[in-house]
Structure 1
Amino acid sequence: MNTMNISLPAPMKSFVDEQVVGRGYGSCRAYIRELIRRDQDRQHLRGLLLEGGESDRAVTADPTYFDALRARVRRHPTE
């Protein structure tokens, strides 16, 4: 695993310390890793949304579509 050292202004360091204690993280390192994972997930989701927005519409999302989707979920709730 690679190492990265960062310097933070005192108010930011205090904030990180408060988050670690208040939210149950084991260390500052665990908190920072979680922030990075969330940002990676957000960027991935954004990419998927942009890709979907640029694609051709496959179906019209009208009440009939959602009724069929609900029926499908009721038939196969674990899929």
Structure 2
Amino acid sequence: MSRQSITISEPNADWLKAQVESKEYSSNSEIVNDLIRRARRQESLETEVIRALLQEGIDSGSSVLSPAQIRQNVRDRQQVDE
């Protein structure tokens, strides 16, 4: 595993400390790795949704939505899911 040195804001440092103290995580590294995994998973899901919507448009023969509108629809759906 690669070691990294990062600088974080005081509020974020306080949050990390609280997570470790609550025994939710055992270390700051565990928290950061979990956050990165979640972000990567979310990014992958967004990509899958965009591909599916684009394929749906292709399969329909035509789409009235622009790529920007499709991206916005994805963002809107994500907000509903959260």
Alignment of 1:62-77 (within 5 A): none
Per the alignment, in what secondary structure is the counterpart of residue 56 of structure 1?
helix
2:27 matched to 1:20?
Answer: no
Counterpart of 2:39? 39
Question: Which amino acid is the alignment partner of residue 18 of structure 1?
Answer: A
Q: What are the superposed Cα offsets for residues 18-77 of structure 1, whole Å, 9 maximum, x if unpaired?
A: 12222520101001100000000000000000000001377xxxxxxxxxxxxxxxxxxx
Question: Which amino acid is the alignment partner of residue 22 of structure 1?
Answer: S
Flag the structure with higher helix content. Answer: 2
Greater RCO (CA < 8 Å, at least 6 residues apart) = 2
Range that drifts further, 4-13 or 40-49: 4-13
- Residues 25 and 56 of structure 1: CA distance in aligned 2, closer, same or farther (over 3 Å): same
Number of paired residues?
A: 58
Q: For the pair shown, which has the larger CA radius of gyration, 1 or 2?
A: 1
C-alpha RMSD over aligned residues: 1.8
Normalising by structure 2, we get a TM-score of 0.62
Give 4+ residue runs of structure 1 displaced > 6 Å after superposition.
none
